[in-house]
Amino acid sequence: MFDYTAPLRDMQFILKELAGLDAVGALPGCEDASPDLVAAILEEAGKFAAGVLAPINRQGDEQGCRLEEGKVIAPDGWQEAYTQFSESGWIGLSLPTEFGGQGLPKLVSTPVWEMWFSTNMAFTMLPQLNVGQAEALLIAATEEQKQTWLHKVVSGEWASTMNLTEPQAGSDLAATRSRAEPAADGSYRLFGQKIFISYGEHELTPNIVHLVLARLPDAPTGVKGLSLFIVPKYLVNADGSLGDRNDVRCISIEHKMGIHGSPTCTLSYGDNGGAVGYLVGQPNRGLETMFIMMNEARFGVGVQGAGLAERAYQFALNYARDRVQGRDAVTGESGKPILHHPDVKRMLLGMRARVMAMRALLYTAAGWFDFAHYSADKAVADKYRRYVDLLMPVAKGWCTEIGNDVCDEAIQVFGGMGFVEETGIAQFFRDARIITIYEGTTGIQANDLIGRKILRENGATLRELIADLGATAMALREDEALADIADAFAETVDALETATDWVLANGQDRIADVLAGAVPFLYLLGTVVGGWQLARAAQAARRRLVEGEGDAAYHSSLVELARFYLATVGPQAAAHAATVCEAGGALTRFDDSAF
């Protein structure tokens, strides 16, 4: 097991050079995000991640969770780590000061969460739920509800869950059956079963606040008949003290391939007369609010992809530097570490390139979030809101797929040792496998991208983004040393444009064919915007090199990193574009009975 080293240099480079940390820090309400404070926070988070979360990650995998007489027992170390985590105020980092948070921009909290995910994803899912729930309550809860619940959710004194899935309602929430009956006192009684509820039950906090989707008696069918309810594990008295146990219980936990430290619960509501719940927001509008929480969670899952990939990369790199095997292909020398083999270096450089592309994309998107949220310039805020909306499925879908690929390649670097659990890398591979599934599978993200984000507005925002990509290619050409990068990147943008034209031309008449290419389109867009970020990194690095500022070796390496990405991942853009345009026909003609 190798120690975790917070990648602070890479993080700082991206924050400052690509994601606009200075500009974000100048936004009204973001003044606290000074470079010094941000550096101090990242430093501190890196220590906490390496010193507290990383050391208990493997025992979480080995021990898993146990359900004993209705109680879920978390792995050793979880309680201490959670107490320290919440008491250090990490949960509220980006949440409003009014409710006990620190009110920092998302751009600052994103690298911090990346470090948590790198070092202990199963643990971090717990506080991550608080952040999502807080965002939902901030938007939809009444002032009284906020006072009752929000402070303790932000501080982490109480834990949070989100309850959507039911056995017959997975990706399709329209099939939700849980129901809520109004009670005389204005509250509700909930009945039904929810599955796949992360941290649905545990003893780590004195109370758990469930957010539950259910139907009111008179609700319309489909997703427009879902309402959202707060259902606490323990009722809360008027003075804030805990009252009776509510009528919700954990009836089983899943035996999963990964994230063993995170209990995945089946919760039964209302077996003894109904679980007391409180309506949040308007009746039948619950899904809209839940989507706020889910959007937060989706971005967070994208960050999980980058975080797991970073750690897997570190593991593989350390091993490749230690392990001596074989002879040098050129000199015939033996006794050198395997990093020296071109194929091993290829894997590691590919891992590094993709980690940096994901990270730069996610931080840039986090910056857009902040511009959208805080900018006083309506045009700026509006543009970045649209960019965030467009690229959210990519941030989630592409970064989780690539995160899996990187974890997979890390095992390959280890060879046989990677398949042995003691080595520790297998856990990352197993843990990562859930991230392309939960919070909406890659297919769901891709359908959202094609349907809601592109076709619904006839490609307007995507066209705007493509123009920005073209502008970057133009700007790259101004520096002759980057001309080859400009060309290679421009080729990927051309592929994106070709596929975009095709999707827009066929979105009406051949929607099934277009949706058959939805995931390839998502990969295509991810490939291009990932390359965009690395090309921008090369551009910024060259600026520093020309100015003779900073670490020249580091900056030179970023230029080669962009080249390597464009030579290895970049050519996939044209391949994905071809698939988008070509695959639907054969797929539609292939008769289902011939499978």
Using the rule CB under 8 A, which residue among 228, 513, 531, 532 binds its own copies?
A: 513
CA 415 to CA 59: how far, in whole Å?
23
Using the rule CB under 8 A, which residue among 235, 251, 380, 437 binds its own copies?
A: 437
**Of residues 337 and 470, the one with the C-beta less far from its own copies:** 337
* 298 is a contact residue toward its own copies (CB under 8 A): no
Using the rule CB under 8 A, which residue among 218, 239, 255, 378 binds its own copies?
A: 255
* 266 is a contact residue toward its own copies (CB under 8 A): no
**Of residues 81 and 444, the one with the C-beta less far from its own copies:** 444
For the question of residue 439 being annotated catalytic, the response is yes
Q: Which of residues 186-205 bind its own copies (CB under 8 A)?
A: 196
* 232 is a contact residue toward its own copies (CB under 8 A): no
Which of 409, 439, 480, 582 is labelled catalytic? Answer: 439
CA 363 to CA 109: how far, in whole Å?
10
Using the rule CB under 8 A, which residue among 57, 86, 187, 447 binds its own copies?
A: 447
- Please state the closest distance from residue 585 (CB atom) to its own copies, in A: 7
Residue 42, CB-side half-sphere exposure with 13 Å CA sphere: 22
Q: Which residues contact 475 (CB under 8 A, 6 or more apart)?
A: 539
SS3 for 286?
helix
* 254 is a contact residue toward its own copies (CB under 8 A): yes
- Please state the closest distance from residue 37 (CB atom) to its own copies, in A: 29
Q: Which of residues 324-353 bind its own copies (CB under 8 A)?
A: 324-327, 329-330, 334, 339-349, 352
Using the rule CB under 8 A, which residue among 124, 364, 436, 539 binds its own copies?
A: 436
Q: Which letter, b or e, does each residue of 498-516 get, where b requires 16 or more Cβ atoms within 10 Å of its Cβ?
A: bbbebbbebbeebeebbbb
Q: Which of residues 147-176 bind its own copies (CB under 8 A)?
A: 165, 168, 170-172, 174-175
**Of residues 237 and 334, the one with the C-beta less far from its own copies:** 334
- Please state the closest distance from residue 239 (CB atom) to its own copies, in A: 40
Using the rule CB under 8 A, which residue among 16, 58, 430, 463 binds its own copies?
A: 430
Amino acid found at 37: L
CA 441 to CA 400: how far, in whole Å?
10
CA 75 to CA 78: how far, in whole Å?
6
Using the rule CB under 8 A, which residue among 11, 516, 529, 545 binds its own copies?
A: 516
Tokens of 167: 């056995």
* 594 is a contact residue toward its own copies (CB under 8 A): yes
**Of residues 52 and 515, the one with the C-beta less far from its own copies:** 515
Instruction: Give the x-and-dash track for 409-428 against its own copies (CB under 8 A).
Output: --xx--xx-xxxxx---x--
Q: Are 209 and 159 in contact (CB under 8 A)?
A: yes
Q: Are 300 and 430 in contact (CB under 8 A)?
A: no
CA 112 to CA 105: how far, in whole Å?
12
Instruction: Spell out the SS3 assignment of 32-66.
Output: CCCHHHHHHHHHHHHHHHHHHHHHHHHHHHHHCCE
Q: Which of residues 557-576 bind its own copies (CB under 8 A)?
A: 557, 560-561, 563-564, 566-568, 570-572, 574-576
Helix axes 378-414, 342-374, angle to 10 degrees: 160
Instruction: Spell out the SS3 assignment of 375-390.
Output: CCCHHHHHHHHHHHHH
- Please state the closest distance from residue 396 (CB atom) to its own copies, in A: 14
Tokens of 49: 């991640």
CA 110 to CA 121: how far, in whole Å?
14
- DSSP labels, 524-563: HHHHHHHHHHHHHHHHHHHHHHHHT-S-HHHHHHHHHHHH
- Please state the closest distance from residue 486 (CB atom) to its own copies, in A: 15
Q: Which stretch binds its own copies (CB under 8 A): 127-135, 404-412, 497-505, 541-549?
A: 404-412
- Please state the closest distance from residue 406 (CB atom) to its own copies, in A: 14
Beta strands at 208-214 and 159-163: parallel, antiparallel or unpaired:
parallel
| Residues taking part in catalysis | 439
